[in-house]
């Protein structure tokens, strides 16, 4: 289909910076309302952004470095989040036993089923 912009993020715009979001955007997934779930690497959280770029939800996580959310489960209402531990300071790894694991959480709005590609 036609290309569509989900979120326009301009960090240098007035009143907006990467620091205001805590960490930096890493992997992301889109739910059935067109909202963008983004992992904030070194920000210890996930953000759910509207198609217009407004933060609708902020989810604090028990790890500093979430990397990639993806939808799964029979109803696509389970959000799985990969996390990083490699290269992180020893003190951080000791304090965050879930770092390097896959986290999961239930969400109200389901994600999209994967598309099959036939080559």
Could you list the residues known to form a binding site for a divalent metal cation, using ranges.
26
Could you list the residues known to form a binding site, using ranges.
26
Active site residue 26: yes
* Backbone phi, psi, residue 95, to 5°: -80, -15
Both tokens of 112, joined, read 């999209």
Q: Which residues contact 110 (CB under 8 A, 6 or more apart)?
A: 31, 32, 71, 75, 76, 77
Which DSSP symbol is given to 94? H
User: Across 11-107, where does the E strand assignment appear?
Assistant: 24-30, 36-41, 45-49, 55-60, 66-72, 78-83, 102-106
Q: Using an 8 Å Cβ cutoff, are 60 and 44 in contact?
A: yes
Catalytic residue among 19, 26, 31, 75: 26
Supply the residues annotated as catalytic. 26
């Amino acid at each position: 289909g036609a290309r569509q912009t989900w979120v326009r993020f301009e960090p240098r715009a007035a009143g907006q910076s990467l620091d205001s979001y805590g960490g930096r955007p890493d992997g992301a997934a889109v739910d059935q309302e067109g909202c963008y779930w983004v992992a904030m690497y070194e920000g210890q959280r996930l953000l759910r952004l509207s198609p217009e770029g407004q933060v609708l939800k902020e989810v604090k996580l028990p790890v500093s470095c979430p990397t990639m959310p993806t939808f799964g489960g029979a109803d696509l209402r389970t959000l799985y989040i990969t996390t990083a531990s490699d290269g992180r300071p020893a003190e951080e790894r000791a304090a965050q036993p879930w770092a390097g694991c896959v986290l999961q959480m239930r969400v109200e709005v389901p994600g999209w089923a994967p598309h099959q590609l036939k080559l």
